[in-house]
Every structure is written in structure tokens, then in C-alpha cells.
Structure 1
Amino acid sequence: MMSQSMTRPHRTPGEAPAVREPAHVPVAHVVRGGMIEGIHHGSVVVLAADGSVAFQAGDIEVACYPRSALKPLQAVGLLRAGLPPLDDELLALVAASHSGEERHLAGARRILAAAELAEDDLRNVPDLPYDPAVRDEWIRRGLAPSRLAQNCSGKHAAMLLTARTRGWRLDDYLDPGHPLQRELAATVEDLTGQRIARVTVDGCGAPLFSVSLHGLTRAAARLATAAPGTDEGRVAEAMRAHPEMVSGSSRDVAHLVRAVPGLLAKDGFEGVQIAALPDGRAVGVKIADGADRARMPVTAAALARCGVDPDVLAPFATAPVLGGGAPVGTLRAVHTTAPQLS
């Protein structure tokens, strides 16, 4: 049965963002022994509740690849394309870059079982679990990389279930020309309000759509403010209720969602992060060099500009710089990006 929202008209998206060299700016400093040792460049956007840009640094309009920060939008697209009803825990897994914990693998198996399919039907790349501790245990047990353990298996299982429900071919569900991928691209354009600039292949093998950081953040705000029962609202509620399914029990994004009431958040490789509050205030972060260590401190700084309590954000606002195994400095957002946290 197809989602009722498939029949509703979507907005006509605007122009595609420009493809050019991004004009990133310093967003984080690595301070060791009282001296700046390193600088991370990037871009940041903060949206007010009315959708206007309340703060920006760097280049928020250039085309970029959101990587896994795009998954919440793809989850909405899967519902629009006819993904059968799933409980909130499994729907959160559809939008996940999971850590490979047993609950993640079990959830992906449940989605595949609903389609009467198995792990061998997945077309994502085999991998070891993302979480270091889980990966070490996996290796200790002599287990090989698998498609189920790869962090995108929930999304891929849902793609297969949707394709089977619609009667589409399964063997080429990752082809950008497949009806499923065309549906997902249309949803990305609708939610971001802009045309896709380029299409390439993500690390898992799925098509990856480029939009601007501004457009991506605008889409996050649309999910966070969506009415209950809508496809956007269902994805947002599932992600808020089960942040450990969206990431993992030890991941910073799950801890952030638990710390900030009502927050919707998703990270992506290459230093991408989106986060949105229920009233529409939202932030988007892109770290130019892809360094994951700078992602959360800059995100915390951006959320402070949204009015989130700095005391709540304090555990996320800095990362220690070690020397001889002891803290000798800190990684923090630059003053111009985070005056409230400096």
C-alpha cells in the first residue's frame, strides 16, 4: 500500500546550487599548550524559527555532498514511495548510520524479513561494524565484513522492501535511474527546495545527491516542525525516540539528542552535521577537511546561537587535546562562530 502523501503536490524546487570551490572559513581551533596548533575550516548556517538565516559563516550556498546526513530525507522519500508501515525503532534504523550493535543487525534482519529477503539481497558494500569496541569484538570472534554490519544496512533493507512492495526490480535498486531512486531524488529536491546539482555514489554504493548546506538545513527544519502522522513527522518522531538506533549507544549524536529536548540530529561522513529543534530553529555544519573531531564542537557552538543552554552543550563544546596521555589543550569552535561558548 502506497503512502497517502504520494498523491499530494510537492513544491517546485528552485535552482541547483553552484558547483565550485567552496569559500570555507576557520570554524575550529586546535589549541595545544596555549597556542593554536591547527585550524579546521568549514561552513556553518543557523536558521531562525521563521526559516531566515540568523547566522552564517563560510559558504552555505555552494553544492556539497551531505553524505549520511541525507538519510532522514531519504527515509521520508521511502515512505512517500510506499515503504510499508514500520515501528518507530525500525524507522529510525532506516535513517541510520548505525554502529553495528546487535540491535542494529537484528532490526535490519526484521526489515528484510518483511520483504521475504535475506542479507545476500543487499547491495551495500560489506564492512565491519562502525563502533570501535563492537568492531574489535567482531574481529575477536573471527567474523568477516558483512553487508548487514555495514552502517547503512537499515536504509538498504528499506529500499529493498519498498521496491518489492511497488513491484520494482530488486537487483538494480541502486541504479540512479531506478524508479525508487528517482522517487528519492524528487523528495530531496522537495524538502531542500532546490534542484540536485550532481549525483554520485556514496560509500555504501547508493546514489548520493548534492545540495547546499543551506538547503540541507532547511530540510532538517521541515522534518523537525512537521505535523504528527505526516511522513516527515513520522521520521522525525522515530529519530527523536530512538537516537541510539540512528547512531549507536556510544555515539555523540545520540548523547546530544538525549541532552537537548526535542532535537532532531543526524551526522554524515566528511564532517557534516544537521540538527533542528521543534520550533524550526536549525543548524548545518560542514567541516572542509572532513575531520570528525571538529564536527561536534562546531555544532554545539551553532546550537548555542539557536539559544540552547550552553550548560547543556558544555560536554559537546570542546574536545581534549592530549600530550603524554593527559589533556594539554582543547579543540573548540572559533570565537567568531561561537561567542557564547568561547
Structure 2
Amino acid sequence: MIVAEVVRSGFVESVHHGVVAVIGADGLGDVASPFFPRSSNKPLQTVGLLTAGLVPREEADLALISASHDGETFHVERVRAILAAAGLGPEALRCPADLPLGETARRDWLRGGGEPERILMNCSGKHAGFLATCVLNGWPLESYLEVDHPLQKVLADAVSRLSGEPIAALGVDGCGAPIFAISPNGLARAFLHLVEAEPGTPERRVADAMRAHPELVAGTGSEDTVLMDAMPGLIVKRGADGVSAAAMPGVGAVALKISDGSARARVPVLLAALRRLGLDVPDLPEPVLGGGLPVGEVRAVF
């Protein structure tokens, strides 16, 4: 199913295929076959951490644990504080060393002579949450990324329960953590569970933290942060390789996957899917540049 096209100077130069599951409206493509949601799984995993007994220092920590953060100073310092509260330092992290994900944060870090560090990696908040939960339960720290670790079994159970379907396959995500395959329908269903859960439940606590602190979920100017700032009640979480999921209570939910993994098609398709739910969505243009000037656009076509 063609879901987006790239138009340059009035000419369609390429197209992007994908699937879009929309609960509350019609979806497109094969929305029942499993795929790896990548970082869009993170809010579901955070629910699993709370179920396992995680006690955050403050509710805002749940937003960062669910994040693919840009590596801005306020992100990194909060990761450091989550680890310190568990009696740990950044050396306990098992995610790979990386540079900040955000362009501005990465440029500033390199300008200051910085090198890749584990705490800068966009998944470091999730890993800090993993470790804090392990400390609380007395689970081994060195092996917390192993698929048969007690922590990972709890997280798999949470993803399966929230999505309403069994885990179809196990993989290894870019940060080294296990990743669980579910369908686009299952991912959309899980996100809707988060926003429509009863107040005080693990599901609702994660959704409320993301909505209250959207800058922690992504970063300054990032799509997830901008959309949640502009649309009260919405949660949205991007994932690598052209994945995104979003939900609005009382309205519906969206999960999408761009088949070729392109990130530039993700935002136009997400916005179009949210509009299909009848939501008033801000315009986040994806310009096609020529000589540094806009000469076209990436647009949804379904």
C-alpha cells in the first residue's frame, strides 16, 4: 500500500509503502501481520516496570523511561538521577555508547570535545528504568538484557497483555534490549489502553507522565514533543525504521510502519492518520530541499 510520495518541483520522484492501523477509523494495508515496533514499544515496557514494582522518584521519570530522548542536558541529568537513586552510575548501563540523537545537542556535544557515551544514547532512560527495577527486585544487573532474565519476562508479558495478542517473535533492538513483535493493530490497541485506563493504574500513569512532560519523551522541536504540546490528551511515540504510534482518549489510536524504514515519510502519514480520526492536527511540513530551499514536499496519499 502506497502511503506517501515525495514530490520535487511538481514531479513525483519516489513513493513509500507501508501499513497504517487506525482504531476508530479505517486502516490501510496488512495491519494484522506482526512487525517490530522498535521504540514505540517503550511506553508498554514502562507499564511492565511499574507492574514489577518500580517506584519512580517522581512521575516525570516515567516519561523519560518511555523516551527516545534527544540527549539534551536535562535528559542526561535525569537519567543520571534515576541511576543514582538506585545506587548506580552510568557504568551500569548496557546500551551502546552513542552521541546525542538531537541534531543541536549532538553538535554542541561534539563542539565541546565530547565523545560517545552510554548515558547519551537515546534509550538510556529506558535502561535506567530497567536497572532500577532490577535493584528493587534483587535481580541480576549484568544480565538484564538477556531474554530469559526475570525483567524481560515481565516486559514481554506486559506487551502481550496490552496488545491483546501473543508475542510473535523476539529480536534484539538497537540498544541491545529484547524487542517483541506484535501487529500494528495490537500496537494501536495497546496505546489506546494507556490513555483510556483508570487514573492511578500503571497504564494511565505512563500516559499521564508522557502528556505532562512531552519534552522528556523526545526533545526540543522533535515531532513527538511538538504534537503532544499542541494536542492535549494525545500520546505519541516514534520508533526507528519508520514506526510511530499515537492515541487520544475517547477518539482512537494509530500505529504505522513505513515498509522501507524511511523516517521522512513517518510524520506526514501519522498526521494524515490522526486527521482520519477527526482530530485537529498541526501542520508539520516535511519539505524537499533543492539548493537549501523548499522545492517540494513529502505528502501522505492514502
- Do both share a fold (TM > 0.5)? yes
Residue 171 (structure 2) pairs with residue 195 (structure 1): no
| Deviation sequence 1:5-47 (CA, Å, 0-9, x none) | xxxxxxxxxxxxxxxxxxxx10001111212111011011111
Once residues 261 and 120 of structure 1 are traced to their aligned partners in structure 2, the CA distance between those partners, rounded to angstroms, is 37
Match of 2:206 in 1: 235
| Deviation sequence 1:61-99 (CA, Å, 0-9, x none) | 111000000000000000001111331221100100000
Aligned partner of 1:186 among 142, 157, 160: 157
Aligned partner of 2:193 among 222, 226, 239: 222
Match of 1:144 in 2: 115
Match of 1:322 in 2: 289
Q: TM-score, normalized by length of structure 2?
A: 0.98
Match of 2:19 in 1: 43
Any idea what SS the aligned residue of 1:171 has? coil
Equivalent AA in structure 2 for residue 37 of structure 1: E
Paired residues of 1:224 and 1:280 also in contact (CA < 8 A): no
How far is 1:280 from its partner? 4.7
Once residues 233 and 42 of structure 1 are traced to their aligned partners in structure 2, the CA distance between those partners, rounded to angstroms, is 30
How far is 1:177 from its partner? 0.1
Any idea what SS the aligned residue of 1:222 has? helix
Residue ranges of structure 2 left out of the alignment (5+ in a row): none
Any idea what SS the aligned residue of 1:28 has? strand
Paired residues of 1:88 and 1:242 also in contact (CA < 8 A): no
Residue ranges of structure 1 left out of the alignment (5+ in a row): 1-24, 49-53, 338-342
Equivalent AA in structure 2 for residue 290 of structure 1: G
Once residues 324 and 258 of structure 1 are traced to their aligned partners in structure 2, the CA distance between those partners, rounded to angstroms, is 32
Residue 3 (structure 2) pairs with residue 27 (structure 1): yes
Once residues 291 and 128 of structure 2 are traced to their aligned partners in structure 1, the CA distance between those partners, rounded to angstroms, is 45
Once residues 87 and 198 of structure 1 are traced to their aligned partners in structure 2, the CA distance between those partners, rounded to angstroms, is 34
Matches within 5 A, 1:256-295: 256-295=227-266
Aligned partner of 1:304 among 251, 275, 279: 275
Matches within 5 A, 1:100-249: 100-249=71-220
Once residues 176 and 277 of structure 1 are traced to their aligned partners in structure 2, the CA distance between those partners, rounded to angstroms, is 32
Match of 1:20 in 2: none
How far is 1:266 from its partner? 0.4
How far is 1:132 from its partner? 1.1
Q: Which 4+ runs in 1 deviate beyond 3 A?
A: none
How far is 1:221 from its partner? 0.3
Once residues 188 and 86 of structure 1 are traced to their aligned partners in structure 2, the CA distance between those partners, rounded to angstroms, is 24
Paired residues of 1:263 and 1:278 also in contact (CA < 8 A): yes
State the identity as a percent.
51
Once residues 121 and 46 of structure 1 are traced to their aligned partners in structure 2, the CA distance between those partners, rounded to angstroms, is 39
Once residues 100 and 116 of structure 1 are traced to their aligned partners in structure 2, the CA distance between those partners, rounded to angstroms, is 22
The structure number with the bigger radius of gyration is: 1
Match of 2:224 in 1: 253
Any idea what SS the aligned residue of 1:292 has? coil
Equivalent AA in structure 1 for residue 115 of structure 2: A
Q: TM-score, normalized by length of structure 1?
A: 0.87
Any idea what SS the aligned residue of 2:119 has? coil
How far is 1:253 from its partner? 1.2
Aligned partner of 1:77 among 43, 48, 63: 48
Any idea what SS the aligned residue of 2:27 has? strand
| Deviation sequence 1:86-134 (CA, Å, 0-9, x none) | 3122110010000000111111111101110000011111100001111
Match of 1:92 in 2: 63
Any idea what SS the aligned residue of 2:51 has? helix
| Deviation sequence 1:313-336 (CA, Å, 0-9, x none) | 3x22x41112222222111000xx
Equivalent AA in structure 2 for residue 215 of structure 1: G
Equivalent AA in structure 1 for residue 112 of structure 2: R
Equivalent AA in structure 1 for residue 290 of structure 2: G
Paired residues of 2:251 and 2:277 also in contact (CA < 8 A): no
Once residues 37 and 233 of structure 2 are traced to their aligned partners in structure 1, the CA distance between those partners, rounded to angstroms, is 22
